[in-house]
Amino acid sequence: MISSPPFHVVAFMLAITLATTACSSLPNDTPDVESLEDKNAQLAAREAALDRRLANIEAREKALKTRAETPEPATAITQLRTGDDLLPPEAKPGECYTRVWAPPTYREVTERVKTQDAAETITVIPATYKTTRKRVLVKEASTKLIAVPATYKTIEERVMVKPAAKKIVKVPAIYETHSEQVIDKPAHTTWKRGTGPIQRIDDTTGEIMCLVEVPASYKTITKRVLKTPATTKIIEEPAIFKTVEKRVIDQPATTETVAIPAEYKMMTVKEIDTPAHENRAPIDAQYTIMTRRELVQDGRMEWRSILCDTNTTPDRISDIQRALDEAGYYPGPIDGIIGVETMRAVNAYQRANDLPVDKYLNIATVKALGVSPH
């Protein structure tokens, strides 16, 4: 004959699941009066549904006990398991289970973020000049008469001493500072302690947990962005002239013409030797390395096989205490009782051996200690 799970175990599991479902839908912010009344009404409806379910389970328990001698007890137990999705899947007769919170897992993601765009620097090389001397005409060739000498007058003439040139002037680049928000920690869910209409608190059966949403957190990075690239502009420099005086014939001689040679003067002038030009040098973009946490798997509730009042004995607890003592984790008495000191040793052993850490004697820990779970 296959024995059914004890009524108090099934009832406690239903209470934990219903309370968890109710709490997980509540927001973090303080609700208004209407919202609070609605939530209270919903919780009252859930409590009524829980009472009905517990009554149904109690009726099933009684029916199973009365049909214990019939040839179909396994069928009745199978209907109890599969007819309610709040029970552990694929449960085995004689085993106890608890629903515990498996925390989310994360991984570190490293990203390369640009903080400044690529640009270039411009260096203007000014023009160079050289000084030269030039022969400038200051008196034209003429003729004169012996009898009646020619008459002259003085006039002014502009002479170029420096030609027009072009000058290149650097116009620097213009940058803007931009701020950008990036995800520091993504949104996720977590579990907090909650209370419900039915709960059982001791060192072996667990507690009610509420699933709440934690919003994503951000951080701000600042980077320089090129708005206008550096360039140059050309400034025209006009030519420089100098005014000189020279004598010209006002009236030639009327008798004998005598040739008078032209007169020249040596003057110092500046000429361009090398024209102005520019040198351009590229500037690479600037980057920074940022590390953020990325969610790999959400936290979840899962069923774990454990030892409880139904599937354990004082002898098995004593075997567990002796195994913990041999492993160096339990200095207490071998009394076959699960107490605070025993569970403290169990949790220390779980943490040291990478086992699920909770407030139960889960089957994975029992097997790791070399103790038979059955």
CB burial class (10 A; 0-12, 13-18, 19+) of residue 261?
Answer: exposed
pLDDT of 324: 92
- Phi/psi of residue 39, nearest 5 degrees: -65, -40
CA distance 110 to 88: 40
Fold category of 312-374 in CATH: Muramoyl-pentapeptide Carboxypeptidase; domain 1 (1.10.101)
pLDDT of 32: 47
pLDDT of 352: 92
Mind giving me the DSSP string for 207-273?
--EEEEEE--EEEEEEEEEEEE--EEEEEEE--EEEEEEEEEEEE--SS--EEE--EEEEEEEEEEE
Q: Where are the domains of the chain?
A: 119-173+229-283, 312-374
Sheet with strand 128-139: strands edge to edge: 151-162, 240-251, 128-139, 263-274
Sequence-distant (≥ 6) Cβ neighbours of residue 66 within 8 angstroms: none
pLDDT of 65: 66
* 132 close to 347: Cβ distance less than 8 angstroms: no
Q: Which of 343, 348, 352, 349 is nearest to 307 (CA)?
A: 343
CB burial class (10 A; 0-12, 13-18, 19+) of residue 270?
Answer: middle
Using N-to-C axis directions, what is the helix angle for 340-352 and 314-326, rounded to 10°?
50
309: which DSSP letter?
T
Q: Which of 370, 320, 354, 308 is nearest to 13 (CA)?
A: 308
Could you list the pLDDT tens digit for every one of the 374 residues in the chain?
334 445 444 455 554 554 444 433 333 444 444 566 777 787 788 778 878 877 877 777 777 666 654 444 333 333 334 344 467 766 665 556 677 676 788 888 888 888 888 888 888 889 898 888 888 888 898 887 888 888 888 888 888 878 988 888 888 988 888 888 888 788 888 776 655 544 444 444 455 566 778 888 888 888 888 888 889 889 888 888 888 888 888 888 888 788 899 888 888 878 888 898 888 889 888 888 988 888 887 776 767 667 666 677 888 889 989 999 999 998 889 998 888 898 899 999 989 998 888 777 888 888 888 888 77
> Residues 47, 50, 55, CA angle at the centre, nearest 5°?
130
Which residue type does 246 have? Answer: K
pLDDT of 308: 64
181, two tokens: 């928000």
CB burial class (10 A; 0-12, 13-18, 19+) of residue 230?
Answer: middle
Which residue type does 253 have? Answer: A
Query: What's this model's pTM, rounded to 2 decimal places?
Result: 0.30
